[in-house]
A and B are shown apart, each in its own frame.
Chain A
Amino acid sequence: MTRFSGWNRYPVVDQPLHAARDRRDVLSFSTAGTGRVARGNGRSYGDAAIGVSETLSTLKLDRMKSFDAASGLLTAEAGVLLADIIATFLPRGFFPRVVPGTRFITLGGAIASDVHGKNHHHDGAFGNHVQDLLIVTPCGELVRASRSENAELFRATIGGQGLTGTIIEATLRLMPVETGWIRQRTIAASDLGEAMRTLEENDGATYSVAWIDCLARGAHLGRSLVFLGEHAKVEELEGGAPDKRFPKVAPPLLGVPFDFPSLALNKLSVRLFNEFYYRWGARRVGGPFQVDIDPYFFPLDGISNWNRIYGHRGFVQHQCVIPTERAASVLAEMLERITHWGSASFLAVLKKFGAASDGLLSFPQPGYTLALDFPMRPGLLEFLEELDKCVMEAGGRLYLAKDARQSQATFEAGYAQTVGVFRSLRQALDPVSHVKSRLAERLGL
């Protein structure tokens, strides 16, 4: 028995957590029982990487297989971390086409959640850049899937939260970059409307995201800093010695070694954090400056175990996407409700999505996505139901990788167009539910 949870430490379970050392282990594990699911690095927030009865860690499937510099194609096992891919290939001038807000996720987890980055409006989600997969299906068959071979299985696996079997290997295309630096531009936006306009007007920027100050209210509701970024070219490098083309990728600096008392994250400390983050970010509003990739893409990775700040009760993320036409009013209403409810969100991130990808349960669709963190406390789950209603009425949906609590009805409304296809495919693939996560059980998948 192992005690474990998602990154948000809610819910927590005690159950067997097996570790596969190689593909043979995956093959023998898959059919030996029911109610099992694969797990990557446990960075999803909730119960997606927790089996109903048992869970299989893929972290030891961490071998790379081949890389072709001419095409940028990398084949690697599913347990390889993005951090590892970046540390290996950035010094050689390659970078993953899509990276989320942490580099400590596995290749398998990136595919199973079809993760998005700050460039979704241009480059789509992670799965767009995956060429093919090697999957151990729930019935224990080793199957290759791509857009041309077992295409249905491929579509269901991209964003499929591990429910179509265990990915053991994937081939993805890395993109060439001239340097390991980002030219960042920070724009201050005084309210939500201005933040959305700024994102809209800067659609041409490769990377864009807005950090919302959740404590600003009234006329300043949605006050934000918009962070834009471009990969720096060699001739743009400041003090550009050629040996500085690729900065060293830093290990986490500062740990949070023990849990903060659950009460510590009160309004005061959230306010302090907000003030600090804002002052610090706002210093650099204006012309572009150069940063390395860590602070730009992975600001929270600098503090290992930052999830412990929330104490042992854990926290919950709420990430929705609202179709463009309704986004301004619905997001304003949600922020308004949060202010009235009185418990601040520690972190609020706004991003404009581009076209949806073809993964059946992929989260991104055209519109604006808002991600919020809430420390767990009495009344929170009921309050989040209110936010869900806003999302549902606007034709939006919630991100499964950040979900520990949405109702089946909310889920079915959000994914109405594809959930039927996904269910029947799963029924055919896995009639006895060899594979089933707590999330799948909760959402009737």
Chain B
Amino acid sequence: MSDTPKTLLVLGATSDIGRATAHWFARAGWNVMLAGRSLDALGREADDIATRFGVSVTAHALDILTTGSFADFLDGLYCLPDVVVSAVGLLGDQGRAESELAHAVEVVRTNFEGPALVFDMVAARMIARGSGTLVGISSVAGDRGRASNYSYGAAKAGFTAFLSGLRNRTAGKGVHVVTLKPGFVRTRMTEGMRLPGLLTAEPAEVAKAIFKAVEAKRDIVYVRSVWWFVMTIICAIPEGLFKNLKL
């Protein structure tokens, strides 16, 4: 590692995956900036990380639905970070999303609109500097829409397409974009669900995958490679058959 510590910014740092990611980088000596909508909750994480790893940690308020605040948010950071990870997300309730317009809008805006708009603004600053990495946590749910969570899936599909376009835009400008598809992860989001052991990762596993993807400049990463296989099969099923499946 170089002499001056690098800086990581985590959007959605109160999430289980965001927290694990901040720990992983801090253990490696990185300074971290934590962003989220509750300063109280962020303060708790910041104290924890500073106590454990002795790195510098700051907390920053950010509501991903308040797009008008993004420029001020970025100006308020003490520096432009080397790496930005977005762990913001909302699984929501598909049934509710079908009948309640406001909920469907919230799911789409939280998973797609907000993260995409912030990333666009960060990318512009990173391109101007000539360096940086953006890691978007998308989802295998975006690889193909299913009845059980297609509002979330569609928003993640949009985010995946956005990341791909952003990667294309920044290529050759010193800025790298990673699309991360975790598969199932044991977190608050999936609490109470029955998850298949082989397909389910721990938050720390996701964190490690992010760290490695940043170092190796990977483009698209499935945390457990079995998911690449599973999704290749699922995407190959003809639509005529797929529409009648319960998945």
Contact = CB atoms under 8 A, between A and B. Distances in A.
A25 interface: no
Interface in A65-112: 65-67, 74, 76, 88
A22 interface: yes
B47 A22 contact: no
A65 B188 contact: no
Interface string B185-218: 0001000000000000000000000000000000
Nearest to A21: B188
Contacts of B235: none
Interface residues of B, number: 8
Nearest to A23: B44
Contacts of A64: 47-48, 51-52
Residue among B45, B47, B51, B188 having the largest count of chain A Cβ atoms under 10 Å: B51
A63 interface: yes
B124 to A, nearest CB: 35
B41 A63 contact: no
Interface string A37-65: 00000000000000000000000000111
Nearest to B54: A92
Interface residues of A, number: 10
Interface string B160-204: 000000000000000000000000000010000000000000000
B36 to A, nearest CB: 14
A63 B188 contact: no
Contacts of A21: 188
A112 to B, nearest CB: 22
Nearest to B46: A63
B51 A67 contact: yes
Contacts of A22: 41, 44
B32 to A, nearest CB: 15
Given A22-B41, A88-B52, A66 B188 contact: no
B51 to A, nearest CB: 4
B48 A65 contact: yes
B41 A66 contact: no
A65 B48 CA distance: 5
Contacts of B51: 64-67, 74, 76, 88
A310 B188 CA distance: 34
Interface string B37-49: 0000100110110
B41 A65 contact: no
Interface string A399-436: 00000000000000000000000000000000000000
A155 to B, nearest CB: 28
A88 B188 CA distance: 25
Contacts of B47: 63-66
A64 B52 CA distance: 7
A88 B48 CA distance: 11
Nearest to B50: A66
Contacts of B45: 63
A21 B16 CA distance: 11
B190 to A, nearest CB: 14
A356 B245 CA distance: 67
A76 B44 CA distance: 11
Nearest to A65: B47
A74 B47 CA distance: 12
Interface string B104-123: 00000000000000000000
Nearest to B191: A19
A216 B32 CA distance: 58
B186 to A, nearest CB: 12
Interface string B205-242: 00000000000000000000000000000000000000
A391 B44 CA distance: 47
A178 to B, nearest CB: 20
Contacts of A74: 51
B105 to A, nearest CB: 27
A21 B38 CA distance: 14
A66 B44 CA distance: 10
Nearest to B41: A22
B92 to A, nearest CB: 19
Contacts of A66: 47, 51
Nearest to A85: B52
Interface in A8-23: 21-22
Nearest to B47: A65
Contacts of A65: 47-48, 51
A297 to B, nearest CB: 21
Nearest to B52: A88
A355 B116 CA distance: 63
A21 B4 CA distance: 35
Contacts of B44: 22, 63
Contacts of B48: 63-65
Nearest to B27: A88
A76 B50 CA distance: 12
A203 B44 CA distance: 43
A166 to B, nearest CB: 17
Residue among B41, B44, B45, B52 having the largest count of chain A Cβ atoms under 10 Å: B52
A89 to B, nearest CB: 9
Question: What 5 pairs between A and B have smallest CB-CB spacing?
Answer: A63-B48, A64-B51, A65-B47, A67-B51, A64-B48
10 contacts: A63-B45, A63-B47, A64-B47, A64-B52, A65-B47, A65-B48, A65-B51, A66-B47, A76-B51, A88-B51
Interface of A: 21-22, 63-67, 74, 76, 88
Given A22-B41, A65-B47, 9 more contacts: A22-B44, A63-B45, A64-B48, A64-B51, A64-B52, A66-B51, A74-B51, A76-B51, A88-B52
